[in-house]
Amino acid sequence: MLVDDYYPVAIFALISVLVPLIAFFANRLFRPTNSTALRETTYECGEEPIGQAQVQFHVQFYIYAIIFVVFDIVTVFLMIWALAFDSFGIDSDNLTNNLPLVCASAFTGTMLLGVYYVIKKEKILWI
């Protein structure tokens, strides 16, 4: 392996470090610093703000969001595995054929542990 082969990687790494740094310092250089009453108000799509800007959400929305994301991820990955592998059957002759079943079971189990954690943490009694 020659050093010349790594020049594109080094240039890409240098650019990926420099662009955010330049943007950060350019922002500090060109931003307005005067404070006006308009800048102190909360932006609500051109409308006058009504009430508090910070609203406290209920924990139930967070729980439903986590459960939805977990089952959404499980569904997507299990569909991919179901299409990629012909069968998830257990083959006692060839142990390497059992790998898709083991992987799918481990992944599903890990996701269900996340759901169990949320349910246990919030003491939901309906499941």
Per-residue pLDDT, averaged over 86-115, amounts to 72
Q: What is the pLDDT of residue 17?
A: 96
- pLDDT tens-digit series, residues 54-89: 777 777 777 778 778 878 887 887 777 777 666 555
Highest mean pLDDT among 46-50, 82-86, 103-107: 103-107
Question: Is 52 part of any domain?
Answer: no
Looking at the domain assignment, is residue 12 inside a domain? yes
Contacts of 47 (CB under 8 A, 6+ apart): none
**Structural domains counted in the chain:** 2
For residues 34 and 80, membership in a common domain is answered with no
Question: pLDDT confidence of 123, banded at 50, 70, 90?
Answer: low
Whether residues 72 and 109 fall in one domain: yes
Mean pLDDT on 26-33:
87
